[in-house]
A = this chain, B = another copy of it.
Amino acid sequence: MSGTASHTPVTISFIAESAGVSVPTVSKVINGRAGVAADTRSRVEALISEYGYRKPVVTRNNTMELVFDQLEHQWGLEIIRGVQRVAREQGIGVILTEFGPQSSTIRYWIDDTLARRPACLVSVAQLSDGERDQLRARGIPFVVFDPTGELPDDVPFVGATNWSGGRSATRHLIELGHRRIAMIGGPDAILCCRARLDGYRSAIEAAGLPIDPSLIVPTELTRDHGQAAALDLLRRPDRPTAVFCCNDLQALGVYQAARSLGLRIPADLSVVGFDDLPITSLADPPLTTVHQPLFDMAQAATELALTLGRGEKARQPRLELATTLTVRNSTAPPASRRR
């Protein structure tokens, strides 16, 4: 009996009637007020637990939503922490959703989100036009985190300076003396990959070096694809002395390829990644990579979203935070230079 879920929620007056007491008495029990006889109290408590009564929570948007497409191992946490930090300072609870591989048994995420009436939403997923419309219709402001594609001009977002990052990574290699620098790129559909590639090109051109299209290999953003691309590049007779990768996983693939060909990093080959995943400092050798300030980006996105949620205008609703080059031990002057 008590396990059966009834669809009309149990009310305080229903409990009162069942217990044969008045509504105020039940209210006192629920709120732990004095002035209720011990046996009355325990009778009411028994009914409350039998019927599963729970006091309704009346809140005014003291939560926000954080939505992920897929919670990636290496960067999801950094984002969560940044959002958490800012929200907590403002007494806001962060409700986290990963919609992940869509399954019909799982309710559509946006219905739940809308029903919770959050103060705002930060989306690490690319929201569809329809989803954005639904949020707007309900007056729930949202911020897109690190958008992967083009976004209409009125959509607030927080990203990273991908172009500058690609440029400074490449310039670092040039300054070490490298002249044949390959780039293992990402899918053209992903905006940040295009930006990183253009940053690479820009640095090459700024140094007055020629761009060799055969040194640019676009592929998927995985370790295995990085390895395959690197094997192709490194088996060439005029192999590059340095490789800049669109992300860290690809760079770890380059490590594997180099090792299997007997090339030492950085003595025979310099490698630069992008993202600064936690594992990169554990790699052997520790990877030189472009740091994405995910934690700061998450904080900025949350501040922006909460500001919009308060109905205030944001001074800067579309921004990119600066990447920084983290130099570790996977880069060195090319062999030819060192002797």
Contact = CB atoms under 8 A, between A and B. Distances in A.
A98 B112 contact: no
Contact of A57 (B61, B71, B98): B61
Nearest to A3: B312
A291 interface: no
A24 interface: no
Q: Which of A55, A60, A97 has the most CB of B within 10 A?
A: A60
A81 interface: yes
Interface in A11-50: 49-50
A105 B112 CA distance: 32
Contact of A73 (B96, B105, B115, B278): B278
Nearest to A55: B117
A332 B94 CA distance: 47
A2 B95 CA distance: 27
Contacts of A107: 88-89, 91
B96 A9 contact: no
Nearest to A62: B116
Interface string A82-108: 001000110101111110100001110
Number of identical protomers: 2
Q: Which of A57, A58, A312 has the most CB of B within 10 A?
A: A57
A215 interface: no
A162 B35 CA distance: 50
A310 B49 CA distance: 9
A336 interface: no
A116 B91 CA distance: 10
B2 A311 contact: yes
Contacts of A96: 80, 84, 94-96
Contacts of A310: 3, 52
A170 interface: no
A54 interface: yes
A252 interface: yes
Nearest to A107: B91
Contact of A95 (B9, B95, B256): B95
A84 B97 contact: yes
B282 A57 contact: no
A57 B91 contact: no
A214 interface: no
Interface string A68-79: 000101101100
A112 B89 contact: no
A123 interface: no
A98 B117 contact: no
B311 A49 contact: yes
Contact of A282 (B2, B119, B279): B279
A109 B54 CA distance: 22
A116 B95 CA distance: 12
Given A73-B77, A81-B98, 16 more contacts: A3-B310, A3-B312, A52-B310, A54-B60, A54-B117, A62-B116, A71-B80, A73-B74, A76-B80, A84-B97, A88-B97, A88-B107, A93-B112, A95-B96, A259-B284, A279-B282
8 contacts: A50-B311, A56-B60, A62-B116, A63-B95, A73-B278, A88-B106, A89-B105, A279-B282
